[in-house]
Amino acid sequence: MNELAFFKNPTQITYGLGAINQLRPIIEQQDFKSALIITDRGIIQTGLVEQIISQLDNIQYAVFGETKPNPTVTNCNEAVKTLSEIKADVVVAMGGGSSIDVAKAVCLLATNEGAIQDYEGIDTCSNDLLPLIAIPTTAGTASEVTTFAVITDEERQNKFTIGGIRLAPKWALVDPLVTQTLPPHITAATGLDALVHAIESYTSKLANPISKALAREAIRRISANLRQAVYNGDNIVARDNMLMGSLLAGLAFNNTRLGNCHALSHPVSAIYDVPHGVANSILIPHIMEFNMLAVPELFSDIAVDMGENLTGLTLMGRAQAAVNAVKTLSKDINIPSDFSHYHVDESQLDRMTVDALASGNIAVNPRKTSYQDVVELYKKTMGGVKSEII
């Protein structure tokens, strides 16, 4: 193999119990004078934001707490307004991927002109961003280290991605203690999102030995600890493994992009407001079954990492064991098996398919994917439309 392997991680990571307390030293060392905290109402209710505010006692600060799950262009514009009111020279994001992604958009708009929609795509901005300190509170997206932000354009009902090395936070304070307040259903959906990141990165056409090692360790940690984190949220060992698993998966997919699962999940979330982790969790078994025909040996590795007993199985049997392991895990943690409760039906099928095919993640998926393939994959996830959201 003479191929080159590329790997980037522009973020300075502090990981561990109490990592959040490293905020004050960073603020002091960098001599920041004014900070904007970006978060959401759910996080504010937990009292976690107080742990940030108590470290900002010597500088001016403001809090933007209106981030929505599947964050919007409006969220970004409102937060920029607060930023300019206090002339912040640093942004602190505390939350899941939604708060961190809004913060990335705000840091971009602070130093680059125009609207956030203008920056869709990779390497689209020319100026360095305002510095960002990211504190993740979900073990899911790993946005604290990634070079992507995903924003929903409400008008176009479209989820778009902004990417590029400039998007990466300067610092990530990654502390398992702040994930202990996550309720079981959010732990489940965000945890499976992290597992999907690891699976898609491991099987990506751009995977290399460095990203693969990270992705496999992420799969091992997440599959061995997600049930415990959901059903015994105080179990700090499980929380620690989940957060480290999510981080490792993020470092991996930052370098490989993802695959069909994320390409197909974004249109569903944009149109039907399905939480990101739930959308991926419903799609992933079908995507794995589609992809395993192209790269069964990689799915066999995933089955090993998920602790499956593969004795006596053929290669395809081992690949199928990985799919079954993901299905069992989803069922155990109460993830719905289809989109029926979100009223996803065939009325938007063409539009969702066209949007999915435009994603950069389709290009790195291990199996070539056609329009008809995407239609069939979506149809498998629709189920019969039911009247109540559970």
Q: Which residue, 219 or 321, is less far from ligand NAD as judged by CB?
A: 219
Sign of the alpha-carbon dihedral angle for 154, 379, 338, 363: negative
Binding of Fe ion by 193 (CB under 5 A): yes
Which residue is nearest to Fe ion, using beta carbons?
A: 193
Query: Measuring CA to CA, which residue among 64, 127, 126 is closest to residue 92?
Result: 64
Instruction: Answer with the entry of Fe ion, ligand NAD, none that 148 interacts with (C-beta below 5 to 8 A by kind).
Output: ligand NAD
Compute the least distance from the CB of residue 26 to ligand NAD, in Å.
21
Q: Which two tokens stand for residue 244?
A: 């480290």
Instruction: Answer with the entry of ligand NAD, Fe ion, none that 99 interacts with (C-beta below 5 to 8 A by kind).
Output: ligand NAD
Query: Measuring CA to CA, which residue among 145, 123, 122 is closest to residue 134?
Result: 145
Q: Which residue, 193 or 355, is less far from Fe ion as judged by CB?
A: 193
Q: Where are the beta strands (DSSP E) in 26-170?
A: 34-38, 60-64, 90-95, 121-122, 132-136, 148-153, 158-163
Would you give the binding string for Fe ion spanning residues 141-180, x where CB under 5 A is met?
Answer: ----------------------------------------
Compute the least distance from the CB of residue 258 to ligand NAD, in Å.
8
Point out which residues pair with 171 in neighbouring strands.
12, 133
Cα–Cα distances in Å, from 372 out to 266, 284, 332, 360, 361?
A: 18, 18, 32, 18, 17
Instruction: Answer with the entry of Fe ion, ligand NAD, none that 98 interacts with (C-beta below 5 to 8 A by kind).
Output: ligand NAD
Compute the least distance from the CB of residue 283 to Fe ion, in Å.
11
Local structure of 5: helix, strand or coil: coil
Site residues, ligand NAD (CB under 6 A): 40, 42-43, 46, 69-71, 95-99, 101, 137-138, 140-141, 143, 146, 148-150, 178-179, 181-182, 186, 190, 193, 276-277
Q: How far apart are the C-alpha atoms of 47 and 306, rounded to whole Å? A: 35
Q: How many residues bind Fe ion (CB under 5 A)?
A: 1
Q: Which two tokens stand for residue 10?
A: 């522009």
Q: Which residue, 193 or 240, is less far from Fe ion as judged by CB?
A: 193
Compute the least distance from the CB of residue 141 to Fe ion, in Å.
5
Compute the least distance from the CB of residue 70 to Fe ion, in Å.
12
Binding of Fe ion by 308 (CB under 5 A): no
Biggest CA-to-CA distance, the chain? 66
Q: Which residue, 36 or 218, is less far from Fe ion as judged by CB?
A: 218
Q: Which strands, in side-by-side order, build the sheet including 148-153? A: 121-122, 158-163, 148-153
Q: How far apart are the C-alpha atoms of 114 and 119, rounded to whole Å? A: 9
Single out the segment in contact with Fe ion by CB under 5 A; choices: 25-33, 121-129, 186-194, 373-381. Answer: 186-194
Residues that bind Fe ion (CB under 5 A): 193
